[in-house]
Amino acid sequence: MKRVRRNRGIEQLKSRYGVYFVTPWCIGLLLFFLIPLLQSIYYAFSDVQFLADGLRVQFTGLANFRYIFTQEPAFTDNIAASMQSFAYSFPLIIVLSLVLAVILNGRFAGRTFFRALYFTPVIIAGGSVITLLLTMSTTDVESMAGSSQTGSFIEVNEILDMLGLPAGISSYLNLAISSIMNLLWKCGIQIVLFIAGMQSVPELHYEVARVEGASKWETFWFVTVPSLLRVLLLVAIFTAIELMTEENNAVMRGAYTYLESQRYGTGNAMLWSYFAMVAAVLGVVLLFYRAANRRWSD
Amino acid sequence: MRQIQNAAIPDTATLLRRRRASRRARGAVASVCRYLFLLAVAYVLIYPLFFMLSTSVKAPSQFNDPSVTWLPREFTFGGFQLAFTCLNYVKSVLSTLKYEIVSALLEIASCAIVAYGLARYRFRGKKVLMVLLILTILVPEQMTIVPKVVNFSRLDFLGIFSLLNRVTGVDLRANLLNTGFCFWLPSLFGVGLRSGIIIYIYIQFFKGMPKELEEAAWIDGATPLKTFLRIVIPSSTVVIFTVTIFSVIWHYNDYYLAVMYINRDFPLAVALTQIRDTLTTLGYWSFDGVSNAATMAGCVLFVSPMLILYVLLQRKFIQSIDKIGITG
């Protein structure tokens, strides 16, 4: 009896040390995350003004939301635009980075060179520089090729016309293909995360697959993908957030003009209604993940 | 049963041989395809970089010359000179170091401590904290930036300072905007720029580490803090390295925080975003030769510190990716 209690004492002691490790973070969470989050929700429903003697916040109910949805015509257009670009960017980034990660994870001559090259977007992209660079270099291509497609070297339109697809699908494909150049630049971190994930899949699983005579395709679908599911979720969340908050995202730019001119209430209302939509999208992603997880874990 | 198996053996052997031959042929085709694909992607990645370099040294007279596509026939470094003054380069780099890089380093340290606590210890409320961690990853920095600006303009600690002000009349609420503290304080407490992801990566790594060393240290009477500093940190250089690269890059590229927290001495990323406007105010037309060369030169100036670092550390970075062991 006594011994059990002493053991529990050690456990308790250890758990107390655990609390010590996370206490600063809890304070930080409260001060710099949770409280600002609640404040920000409150601001979205009020009129916020910076005055000489301090801040004045006046609760105005849904006025901000009414304003952005009815009187600010650019907002709904911006949301539509960014949702559209999300619809093709998101799956393309995930698939491209997964494919590239699988290739770069394999063994072939020149692997180090290609890896070093493919990780440069980690260093360069994500900042203002890539926006400048890509807009300038693609307008250059455009003027050279004399076509209206930015960044595509082939006449995608004509090929798609020949295939005779419905207009909606072909315009979607057209957009997707012409933006591959930009999207490849956004795959850096994703590739890194995927490779890191693949390296932690036990070699044993691949060996079993090999002994059982699985083809490479089967190995990919039945060994690599199931063991990458959780990394896939991380990458999906990261990509979604990244796409939604990047600097040249239409909604973000609109909201920031409001914030910079100190119309914090309206800007925050924009951000929150946008974020609610992002959260809905992420919810769908999570549902997919759940379904996939259930299917593969059997 | 055994007889049937024996009879089947020669047949299987030929089958295997045939299969191996066809596999070899298929492998050759696959490897050619793989290289073609890799080269195509490499082209897409190299093209803007090359464009940047070639435009930055292109003489203005060459800009609208259709015969000059890749290598300019005349070189000039005027663009670099112009970009150097437009970006206010030295000052901007210094303020990047002061605001962003320092807070990156703080973040790396504080996140390691938090992640160790979450990965190795069991305590009440840990599940709630894990949910909050996911929430910090999910909620973009932009959602909380306005209240943070408001709070930093009059730093209060849970209302204690304003209460003190009301009671004694002493106002301790300092305005921290335009100082480094806006960047340093959140990083110090592990809730800085994308700290959630960094903590997450750390947790994954710490969970994969063998426990035995730490247990031995515990038995030998080392305190948890000592164990953490002397045993855990030295054996997790791989993850620290990766996380450092991520954090430094993210901070270096950060634009939103800097724009909101400060209004002078902008870091380099902000200066670069404004370079076109700066050029226009200096009297250069946007999209003419001089302005384009200067913009691209500005990009080169912006990218080069990180790119040089990357080239130096590239081998180690690539190796460390294989070892951090993210399992999701």
* Domain at A278, CATH number: 1.10.3720.10
Tally the domains of chain B. 1
Q: Are residues A113 and A133 in the same domain?
A: no
Touching A: B residues 229-258, CB under 8 Å: 242, 245-246, 249-250, 252-253, 255-256
**Is pLDDT at B184 greater than 90 in this prediction?**
yes
Closest residue in A to B215 (Cα) is A14
The whole-number pLDDT of residue A140 equals: 53
Predicted complex ipTM: 0.81
**Is pLDDT at B6 greater than 70 in this prediction?**
no
Tally the domains of chain A. 3
Q: Check residue A49 and report its DSSP letter.
A: E
Average pLDDT over residues A111-134: 77
**Residue A204 within a domain:** yes
Touching B: A residues 261-290, CB under 8 Å: 264, 267-268, 271-272, 275, 279, 282
Q: Share the mean pLDDT of chain A.
A: 79
Average pLDDT over residues B11-33: 81
CB A137 to CB B51 under 8 A? yes
Least confidently predicted of A265-279, B81-95, B116-130, B279-293: B279-293
**Is pLDDT at B93 greater than 90 in this prediction?**
yes
Touching A: B residues 70-99, CB under 8 Å: none
**Is pLDDT at A126 greater than 70 in this prediction?**
no
Average pLDDT over residues A272-288: 84
Q: Are residues A100 and A195 in the same domain?
A: yes
CA-CA distance, A190 to A97, in Å (whole number)? 6
**Residue B177 within a domain:** yes
The whole-number pLDDT of residue B100 equals: 92
Q: Convert the pLDDT of each residue in B298-312 to its tens digit.
A: 888 988 888 888 888
The whole-number pLDDT of residue B170 equals: 67
Q: Convert the pLDDT of each residue in B234-282 to its tens digit.
A: 989 888 998 998 899 889 988 888 888 888 889 988 888 888 888 888 8
- pLDDT bin (cut points 50, 70, 90) of residue A88 is confident
**Residue A66 within a domain:** no
CB A39 to CB B52 under 8 A? no
Sign of CA dihedral A287, A291, A292, A298: positive
Facing A32 at nearest CB: one of B123, B148, B314: B148
Facing B38 at nearest CB: one of A16, A103, A245: A103
Structure-model confidence comparison of residues B165 and A71, the more confident one: A71
Q: Are residues A222 and A270 in the same domain?
A: yes
B-chain CB neighbours of A48 within 8 Å are: 146, 150
Which residues, 6+ apart, have CB-to-CB distance to B221 below 8 Å? none
Yes or no: say if A121 and B45 are a contact pair by the CB < 8 Å rule: yes
Least confidently predicted of A77-86, B7-16, B130-139: B7-16
Q: Are residues A118 and A149 in the same domain?
A: no
B-chain CB neighbours of A233 within 8 Å are: 328
Facing B250 at nearest CB: one of A25, A33, A126: A126
B303 at interface of A, judged by CB pairs closer than 8 A = yes
CA-CA distance, B33 to A216, in Å (whole number)? 15
CA-CA distance, B181 to B198, in Å (whole number)? 21
- pLDDT bin (cut points 50, 70, 90) of residue A153 is very low
**Is pLDDT at A149 greater than 60 in this prediction?**
no
Domain that holds residue B178: 88-272
E strands present in chain A: 46-51, 54-59
Q: Convert the pLDDT of each residue in A25-68 to its tens digit.
A: 999 999 899 999 998 999 889 888 877 666 778 888 888 888 88
Facing A36 at nearest CB: one of B69, B147, B252: B147
**Residue A22 within a domain:** yes
CB A252 to CB B191 under 8 A? no
Closest residue in A to B326 (Cα) is A197
Closest residue in A to B199 (Cα) is A25
Q: Are residues A220 and A90 in the same domain?
A: yes
Q: Share the mean pLDDT of chain B.
A: 83
Touching B: A residues 63-82, CB under 8 Å: none
Q: Are residues A88 and A193 in the same domain?
A: yes
Q: Are residues A121 and A144 in the same domain?
A: no
**Residue B102 within a domain:** yes
**Is pLDDT at B132 greater than 90 in this prediction?**
yes
CB B322 to CB A195 under 8 A? yes
**Residue A52 within a domain:** no
Distance to chain A for B61, nearest Cα, Å: 16
B316 at interface of A, judged by CB pairs closer than 8 A = no
The whole-number pLDDT of residue B187 equals: 94
**Residue A248 within a domain:** yes
**Residue A60 within a domain:** no
The whole-number pLDDT of residue B128 equals: 93
**Is pLDDT at A154 greater than 60 in this prediction?**
no
Q: Are residues A83 and A196 in the same domain?
A: yes
**Residue B2 within a domain:** no
CB B253 to CB A122 under 8 A? no
Average pLDDT over residues A100-127: 82
Average pLDDT over residues A256-281: 84
**Is pLDDT at A279 greater than 60 in this prediction?**
yes
Counting residues of chain B whose pLDDT is more than 90, the rounded percentage is: 20
Distance to chain B for A37, nearest Cα, Å: 5
Average pLDDT over residues B11-31: 80
Q: What 3-state class would DSSP assign to B75?
A: strand
B-chain CB neighbours of A128 within 8 Å are: 253, 255, 269-270, 272-273, 302
Q: Are residues A149 and A96 in the same domain?
A: no
The whole-number pLDDT of residue A180 equals: 78
Least confidently predicted of A47-51, A190-194, B54-58, B142-146: A47-51
**Residue B115 within a domain:** yes
CA-CA distance, B189 to A26, in Å (whole number)? 8
**Residue B108 within a domain:** yes
Q: Convert the pLDDT of each residue in B137-166 to its tens digit.
A: 888 888 888 888 888 887 776 667 777 777
Q: What 3-state class would DSSP assign to B38?
A: helix
Closest residue in A to B155 (Cα) is A31
**Residue A98 within a domain:** yes
Half-sphere exposure of B44 (CA within 13 A, CB side): 21
Q: Are residues A121 and A132 in the same domain?
A: no
Facing B318 at nearest CB: one of A19, A37, A112: A112
Domain that holds residue A7: 2-42
Structure-model confidence comparison of residues A230 and A129, the more confident one: A230
B16 at interface of A, judged by CB pairs closer than 8 A = no
CATH of residue B229: 1.10.3720.10
Touching B: A residues 167-186, CB under 8 Å: 180-181, 184-185
The whole-number pLDDT of residue A181 equals: 74
Q: Are residues A107 and A246 in the same domain?
A: yes
In single-letter form, the type of residue at position B77 comes to F
Distance to chain B for A296, nearest Cα, Å: 16
Q: Convert the pLDDT of each residue in B187-231 to its tens digit.
A: 999 998 889 999 998 998 898 888 888 888 888 888 888 999 998
The whole-number pLDDT of residue A287 equals: 85
The whole-number pLDDT of residue A60 equals: 84
**Residue A65 within a domain:** no
**Is pLDDT at B87 greater than 80 in this prediction?**
yes
- List the alpha helices (DSSP H) in chain B: 2-56, 78-87, 89-95, 102-120, 126-138, 141-153, 160-168, 181-188, 195-208, 212-219, 224-227, 237-253, 256-261, 268-273, 275-281, 289-323
B-chain CB neighbours of A244 within 8 Å are: 140
**Residue B213 within a domain:** yes
Q: Are residues A246 and A196 in the same domain?
A: yes
Counting residues of chain B whose pLDDT is more than 70, the rounded percentage is: 89
Q: Check residue A200 and report its DSSP letter.
A: T
- pLDDT bin (cut points 50, 70, 90) of residue A231 is confident
Q: Count residue pairs from A and B with Cβ separation < 8 A.
A: 267
Domain final residue pick, A158, A179, A200: A179
Average pLDDT over residues A96-110: 88
Facing B321 at nearest CB: one of A184, A196, A255: A196
- pLDDT bin (cut points 50, 70, 90) of residue A164 is low
Yes or no: say if B124 and A15 are a contact pair by the CB < 8 Å rule: yes
Least confidently predicted of A27-31, B7-11, B286-290: B7-11
**Residue B16 within a domain:** no
CA-CA distance, A230 to A221, in Å (whole number)? 15
Average pLDDT over residues A239-247: 82
In single-letter form, the type of residue at position A24 comes to P
The whole-number pLDDT of residue A25 equals: 94
A-chain CB neighbours of B206 within 8 Å are: none
A58 at interface of B, judged by CB pairs closer than 8 A = no
Yes or no: say if B80 and B298 are a contact pair by the CB < 8 Å rule: no
Q: Convert the pLDDT of each residue in B97-124 to its tens digit.
A: 999 999 999 999 999 999 999 998 888 8
Facing A133 at nearest CB: one of B52, B250, B328: B52
**Residue B79 within a domain:** no
